[in-house]
Structure 1
């Protein structure tokens, strides 16, 4: 007689928001097949895939990659900042005039 496997309780976030969209049949079949192969519900599979992609996209846009030349120019400007231009001096004076600190 086969033994019952204990059910593993997973903590799932309280899902109250909805996101709906339409798919063509081929895409839907592809997603359902992938979810089935990973032994997950389609909704769980989609949420995980979308979340992973969203995090990766945000990280790509929030990460600044500099070449060696750009990095050297940046640190040189930090260590040896240039004198402010006349335009910058005027802008700062105008800012101080308009904004009370």
Structure 2
């Protein structure tokens, strides 16, 4: 992820749970009006791992494993939060049926 605009807590920066990728792929379920990781699983992980706020200035970038639990806070209407996101998921990460 590469920041195009400044991204901080006020405009909903990326939040990641350190080490959560070591738990493997965590299924997502309906949470509110979208899909998200099971809230009980997230709570369990947060009791054992740090929540990292990825505040960035334009041009900063962050790389993380595709299984890292991540989200972002709400974005106020008066502040842009433009980022370039590139994803790669190895076949080993995907759940095949």
Same fold, judged at TM 0.5 (above):
no
Bigger share in helix: 1
TM-score bracket, normalised by the shorter chain, equals under 0.3
TM-score by length of 1: 0.20
TM-score by length of 2: 0.20
